[in-house]
Amino acid sequence: MTYCVAVKLKAGMVFLSDSRTNAGLDQISTFRKMIVYEKPGDRFMVLLSAGNLSISQSIREILQTEQLQDPAGGEPITIWNARSMFDAARVLGSAVRHVYQRDGEALRRSGIEFNASLLFGGQIRGEAMRLFQVYSPGNFIEATAETPFFQIGESKYGKPVLDRIITPDTPLAEATKCLLISMDSTLKSNLSVGLPLDLAVYEADRFQSDHVVCIDEGNAYFQMLRTTWGQRLREAFDQIEAPDWQPGSALVAPSGRHRALRKIMTPADKLI
């Protein structure tokens, strides 16, 4: 399994992925889930993938050369000459369908589901940043101000902190910290997600990034974040009052109401 998350803010975009593809008692495999497509001054795009590794690797390879016919009769559209991120996402969807047409039937005969989830975002000169979630059939949806982040893979453990913190106005540094905490929560609760992590931070309208890094167990900042987050959660937990079962307390229901919830067993109810 894996966990990938991407967020689109007014200030820029942040992408984060783990690199574990298989976890077991005697086998742990590591493969990159992130790939950056960059033409400085013109476009910056990031692709994150989850699902069947052979499928996602095939999609990434084909995406480099996949083409769409230009309705206006111009040169074929690729991710390198697309004039919008929407068109680039269409090229990605075409690459997904290309792999399905080539391998889908053979996978089905082997009892393997065609399973691929992708996050694709960035900015092309001439338009604003955009972020898409692409599904196995090649269709996609776009992030909005109401939904500024997408997750794929083992998303449930890291979602609560994103829901509480991330808004379009969140600064890039704060969003990066939040995504790393989201990842740490997932690492803590699911062994199928693991280090190293790939992180890309993009500042709006730069069309390149100097902040693309790999985070392993020796990364000092991530270790500090993991330790501090765990300690502060424990401190916050300890500061919350424990339940009080005394009559009239905030926890105990008004007299009589709680009695309806309790079934009193009679002799007839008892099992012989």
- What letters, b where the CB count within 10 A reaches 16 and e where it falls short, cover 215-229? beeebeebeebbeeb
Q: Which two tokens stand for residue 80?
A: 């390198």
List of residues 6+ apart from 211 with CB closer than 8 A? 199, 200, 201, 202
Tell me the domain boundaries of the chain.
3-234
| Tens of each residue's pLDDT in the chain, 272 residues | 799 999 999 999 999 999 987 645 455 677 899 999 999 999 999 999 999 999 999 999 999 999 999 988 899 999 999 999 999 999 999 999 999 999 999 999 999 999 999 999 999 999 999 999 999 999 999 999 999 999 999 999 999 999 999 999 999 999 999 999 999 999 999 988 999 999 999 999 999 999 999 999 999 999 999 999 999 999 999 999 999 988 878 887 665 555 555 666 666 665 55
**Residue 98 contacts residue 55 (beta carbons within 8 Å):** no
Residues 3-234, CATH architecture: 4-Layer Sandwich (3.60)
* pTM confidence score: 0.91
